Chains A and B, each alone.
Chain A
Amino acid sequence: MASPASVAAVPPTGALLFDAAFLRRLEQLELLARRVPRGGRRGERLTQRRGRGLEFSDFRPYQAGDDLRHVDWNVSARLDRLFLKLYAAEEDVTVYVLLDASASMAFGAPAKFDHARRLGAALAYVALLKQDRVVLATFGDGPGTYTPALKSRRALPRVLTFLAEREAAGGTCLAAALRDFVWRARRPGLVLLIADLLGESAPALIAGLDVLRHAGHEVVLLQVLDEAEVDPPLDGDLRLLDAEDGSALVVSVDGALRGAYQARLAAHLRELEDYTRRAGHTYLRATTAIPFEDLLLRYLRGAGPLR
């Protein structure tokens, strides 16, 4: 098992470096999957599905065709009926860490993408520590880039390398990217979607997220924004350039226009919140101004994805 110190020395990018103390704190975390999808392998995660496992779970009446080896004879004798003993099956969860690598994620100082990569790396590490399978993917311009399913903490360097080699560039269509992901990811799991969710309208984003829901994934939506996107320090005659498609918008920005933009942003975010609440997804929004450790150890734990 790789030590936290060696883990810290491996990645080439300084942005993904975690010190030993931080890693030890990560080891205490666990990703919560409220609806554990069907996993085919043994993991540290308890599943609510009845079946063979190491831990007694419950009884149920015998039905024709059940395995007689699971009949609990003591209970059956007592109740003068045949009952099967159920066991909690320890199954693994596939954690999909999906990272938006479009050009819009390059905005900000520090860039949102760097923040998102650190977040993705940290969440992947937590998952790997719990013997969950981790698949990382980035989507941006063109087909998404995926890692194979990674398991155990020994895969962390590969996680870090994968993330370090990614760049935020090009445009994106979330719905198309998620449909592509769902096609690839045969096994439902816990999807940690880290994106800014600004490049498309809320309905378009919702359509993409619905693809995940319909595919049986549990979705944790982590929206990363820059402070300048929330409260833009813009004024005067400007030509606004879209980082993804290069389109230009000539405006004269004043307080009224800024207010209108913020109102539109609030409506966009509210729509996303309403959807995730209806859909049962977990939604967390944070700006890059929040210290990364606070984000991970406080906000994400408080919002639910981590415990």
Chain B
Amino acid sequence: MQFGLPWGLLALLGVPLIVLLYSLRPRRRDVTLSSVSLWQEALRERPRGVGWRRLLRDLELLALLALAVLLGLALAHPLWQRAAPPAGDVVLVLDRSASMQASPGGGASRFERALQVARAEVDGLAEGGRALIMSSARQPQLHSAFEADPARLRRVLEGLRPSDEAGRPGAALELALSLLHDRERGRVLFITDGAFDVDLPVATPALRVHRVAEDEPASVNVAITRFDLRAEVGNPQRWQVLLGVRNYADRALRVPAEVRFGEQPVWQRELDLAPGAEQTLVVAVDAALVTRAEARVLIDDDLAVDNRAHAVASVQGAVLVALYARDGRYVRHALANLPGVVLTEYDPATAQRFGAPDADAAAARPDVVVFAGVAPPRLAPGSYLLVDALVPGLPFSQTGEVRQPRISGSASSALLRGVDLAGVHIEAARRVQIAAGAEGVQPLFWSDETPLALTSIDAQRRLVYLGFDPGASDLPLRPAFPLLLAQAMDWLAPAADRQRSTQALAGEPQAIVLPAGLERLRVQGPAGVSEHAPRAGQVLFRDTGQTGFYRYQAGNLSGQFAVNLTDAAESDLRPRAAPATRAGDAGTGAQALGASEAARALRPLWPYLTLAALVLALLEWGLWCRGRTGA
């Protein structure tokens, strides 16, 4: 038995108090006898009967004490653990993290054993019971609704595969428990190897954990925990390679490791790894410019997925910027000094003809067009930075002017990462109003009166708007100004070959930003080819469950990125879940609950204790009345 509110046991302190009060209560009956002398003599031969024996003889007092004990126990909310019938809904959560691919000692992998347990649960569903199947990896994933047909559930199970992702079971279990909300007698069965360090949700009678790795021999695993490379600045022939390798076995191992650029090995070494030790290496490699690199540890251990890591090398490309500025010296100066920006300035008078069919051909091909203090009559599809300039047809328009606006807030945006706008003084700003229902418009920072900067994105255009003349503020004198412009350039010109991030963790969504005008993205990865439509100028690619190289293409845009496991906790194959978990049962599905041990339910006992206390209260009242009438 356990207590849900142990502090309620403090009520038992009332028991000695009751005894004390009862002892003080005058309640002796007077009886007149012919003589008490013989009683006096009898008393001399034995004690008067006070103390515990007297108390025990008193039914009324015993009833009061029992009543106090029962109420004290009821307040403590006792829970009786008992075997519960397996009816009701069950949520089967299968651990699909990378460690479930392991098979220490050979034989079936952990995931295959987990599937066996799940199948037994499905086969053992009680009449009227339903099951929902979901999995846990980096993100929880639902694979079915609550289903009563075991055949359908089995088909769902057959379609599950382990992933290369690191596990995050907490989110999955919270989701699973939330699915049981308002469902009486529902339960969650989490089938896992327990090889994670995350705290499970607060212990609840609805959650049971079945560990499939309980009886395994000690695992042997060596994993690549880090892998990255970068070219030396200005020397694409020389690379710095960062490699981390860890031995999770309980014995020392000598492991060959190598790095390949493309198919060409560029570095090899045998690593001596003590038990539990990790070696981190930074090596210089002389090699030609490549886009793909791979690190390998050549060992046949219990988990193969972490024996390889992938990387895509990135090369910084130039951003072609066209500038139309009327007295935009601050903007000109800042853009000209941004690394990777090739700035071309045009006569601001020609801005009026911008976008016209006979406009300067060279001006039609920049990556970003900047209008500072001068506005064209229209904006063709493309990316624009408008500084103190407004163009008709935008989803926001000027409604006036604001003198000395104070920046009162800013958005959480990639454009403002590291940009400190505190105390920026602005002499005057345009008062703008965003059209009602306008989509794709987001203020970057604002005053109480008006947005001072915003972004706008639609299928045709990508736009950053600054609503004041930088020369009429002290912003150009701050580091925030060039940083803001640099990040604006990155956002306005997200060409693939300018992406810095080349690696992702398995299971992490990868955001692929598309230039305006591109409507379809094709992605090829280890699992196959898929196509995706962009939303708000980007595709959030989620199918990164397998490690390897992913290549994407959309129109003239192409790129690639790598997906790795590189998770130290996931590569540790030792089962180490919370003490509340229990060993799995490798039995068959003979029981209604399948291979797992019988379900346990906690039955609250307070109603029974309260009822018994009520009966005792009535008894005590009856005894008291009997005593008063002298019956």
Contacts and interface: CB of A to CB of B under 8 A. Distances in A.
Contact of B31 (A199, A200, A234): A234
Interface in A227-251: 229, 232, 234, 236-244, 247-251
A240 B38 contact: no
B484 to A, nearest CB: 92
B38 A249 contact: no
Nearest to B30: A239
A240 B42 CA distance: 13
A199 B35 CA distance: 5
Interface string B49-60: 110011001100
A67 to B, nearest CB: 57
A102 to B, nearest CB: 9
A107 B39 contact: no
A253 B33 CA distance: 14
B155 interface: no
A260 interface: yes
Given A251-B49, A257-B42, A257-B43, A198 B29 contact: no
Interface residues of B, number: 26
A104 B49 CA distance: 27
Contacts of A263: 42
B628 interface: no
A256 interface: yes
B34 A200 contact: no
Given A238-B29, A257-B43, A260-B45, A107 B38 contact: no
Contacts of A201: 37
B32 interface: yes
B38 A250 contact: no
A243 B34 contact: yes
A249 B36 contact: yes
B40 interface: yes
A260 B46 CA distance: 8
Given A200-B37, A251-B39, A257 B32 contact: no
Given A236-B29, A237-B28, A249 B34 contact: no
Nearest to A254: B49
Contacts of B27: 237
Contacts of B347: none
A213 interface: no
Given A240-B31, A252-B57, A261-B38, 6 more contacts: A103-B34, A243-B34, A257-B43, A260-B42, A261-B39, A263-B42
A199 B34 contact: yes
A229 B28 CA distance: 20
Contact of A238 (B28, B37, B45): B28
A251 B48 contact: yes
Contacts of A248: 36
A296 B46 CA distance: 39
- Give the interface SS of chain B, mostly helix, strand, loop or mixed: mixed
Given A256-B46, A257-B46, A198 B28 contact: no
B32 A241 contact: yes
B34 A105 contact: yes
A241 B29 CA distance: 10
A238 to B, nearest CB: 5
Interface string A74-110: 0000000000000000000000000000011111100
A41 interface: no
Contacts of A244: 34-35
B54 A252 contact: yes
Which 7 A/B pairs are nearest by Cβ-Cβ distance? A104-B34, A252-B49, A260-B42, A107-B34, A261-B42, A198-B35, A242-B36
B40 to A, nearest CB: 6
B41 interface: yes
Interface of B: 27-43, 45-46, 48-50, 53-54, 57-58
Contact of A242 (B35, B43, B46, B58): B35
Nearest to A262: B42
Interface string A24-40: 00000000000000000
**Which residue of B27, B37, B38, B45 has the most chain A CB atoms within 10 A of its CB atom?**
B38
A241 B40 CA distance: 11
A226 interface: yes
A105 B27 CA distance: 28
Contact of B34 (A229, A238, A261, A264): A229
Nearest to B51: A252
Contacts of B33: 107, 229, 232, 240-243
A173 interface: no
A235 B311 CA distance: 95
13 contacts: A112-B34, A198-B34, A198-B38, A199-B34, A229-B34, A237-B29, A238-B30, A239-B29, A240-B36, A241-B36, A248-B36, A250-B48, A252-B48
Interface in A273-300: none
A179 interface: no
Nearest to A229: B34
Contact of B38 (A238, A252, A268): A268
A10 B29 CA distance: 42
A196 interface: yes
A224 B50 CA distance: 34
A229 B35 CA distance: 9
A248 B32 CA distance: 9
Contacts of B42: 257, 260-261, 263-264
A169 interface: no
A167 B517 CA distance: 129
A237 B57 CA distance: 10
**Which residue of A244, A251, A253, A254 has the most chain B CB atoms within 10 A of its CB atom?**
A251
A265 interface: yes
B31 A238 contact: yes
